[in-house]
Structure 1
């Protein structure tokens, strides 16, 4: 009985908090770009709309004028030289005026670099509480592209912002540990969820399987989903196709590396579909036999792996980001050390030869993901916001 009372009090508190929440988000990337940061930001905004909170987004353009009914303020900038998909943007006087008029309860900077750095300064100038979340490993990205000299300056910017935030968040325990080891102070876990209604075995579709398999639905259908950028290292799947003769690979996504990948996989049993979203993406996941995730260095979580598991298919993934937190080797998938393509080939070959094992792993995968509701995850985040706001004002009262 006491537990029920506590639970009901938490629900009432959350409802009261969400009705009064006015959240300002500063993000380095947003729609129409498609990546993990954008996906999580959109899920957060959808949840805020559902619970009646207010929000405003500051992001580099071009982008839609609004999302989920929330205004998006365009921040001018220039493309990042080594990664043109990312815009270096610094909010100016106009952004400050709009923010001041909006009068946020709290400011959240997503993966702060330049846009987030200015968001931090705005929070200080307006005397507002600030939360910073680490969502993409930009330091590993610049190293991957041969600009290792930029790593420490970028770490310094990140550390500066996080040390001046009232609270810091990271998407996996591995990243939490890394940031705390680099002097970021105490970092909280903002775990990731998955929409188990949108990603479900119920979306298995013969027509989709026919499309993904290039008209060969009886082959073992391997799936890769995500933005096609060099750091995703999709080409590491090539040895699998050379070693598993009855396999066909479907690559769902698009990006700057697509043309190069089409050259690399030329003559192999591969289908490039471009981006898929909504129900089409749900059907693509559910209609495959297994999901491959070879990314070696840059992932902070691996959201696509969670979506595949929720869709009821086993995942064969490199041991990166938050993947070890959702895969139990031999139960719902397999993991290999980054770059160890030989082990990846062996794991895929084993699953390709045993449809009963694939089915059993798929059932276990689905069961595990049903415990990771996005509503629960975002509800926890709102509770964190509330604690930050209360603590901020208590400190102010003591100081005065």
Structure 2
């Protein structure tokens, strides 16, 4: 559709917008049918003729009965039109903004590359994920926060304190967390389908660590729970070293979904043959450390399992826990056979976790990377005990 205007400044500005976006010789048209009056049309044409007189635009005329009408306006000289409109070229604005974006910062090479990409977008007069060159100060905060994370300044600090210490305002991170994750996504590994808050939580940046829920024949250092027999315990992850096994568990099972966790301990293992833990979706860094602590308390012969959704996020969670505990773990109710039998092909495909061939989830991750692979939420499956023989005390 031809671009039509009744405001001369808007028409001339549109020519420069499209020139900055890459058009070599953009054209726009007067909208004669939309002028409120003849006076408005005359004022419009007077300004267009002024721009023509300084060499900024050239005019195309109509034919036949409309030969005295301006049919279109073509950009003739961007430099002249910038001067006529007293407008600063987008490349110049972008260059100045890009310099402010990284001034005085010691940034990771990938963040420097990201800044260059943003500047290139601004040079074309476009916005980068909704951020214009005028938003450079906000983006500068996002870069500072991203670099602070790479410097591990986020560890053992809550969300708002980290933001305040880094950019002098406690709520800034909440406003730019999506940008921070986007800047870091080429450097750090995040869950493939996680929201920004979840992604940051997985690398250790959270408001406060959620409790670790654990069920089994366990006590806490200084507290004998054999008489209480709770359904499960909730402990702060940093207190995982207080856990004591009343007797060796037949297995250790971590579960992604809260409903599946409750169903497993109530339906599949009411006698607490094993130790079952809820990891809270994407396991936080504090939870990962707790899992490593608890897994180190059981025999190397005690199998460790994980149960997640059969989807890319599930493979990411599995491999994250696998790395956290530092030993081989086995998938529970997560297999290609179950996916093929009970799953569905998703409407949108996501990338499965990158994992080495000796990972316990490697075959499922490879399957999920194929076209036509099916996924399945773990709530669709009834809980069962892992395929191990109960151990005697």
More contact order relative to length (CA 8 Å, sep ≥ 6): 1
Provide TM-score, normalisation by structure 2.
0.29
Pick the structure with greater CA Rg.
Answer: 2
Provide TM-score, normalisation by structure 1.
0.28
More strand by share: 1
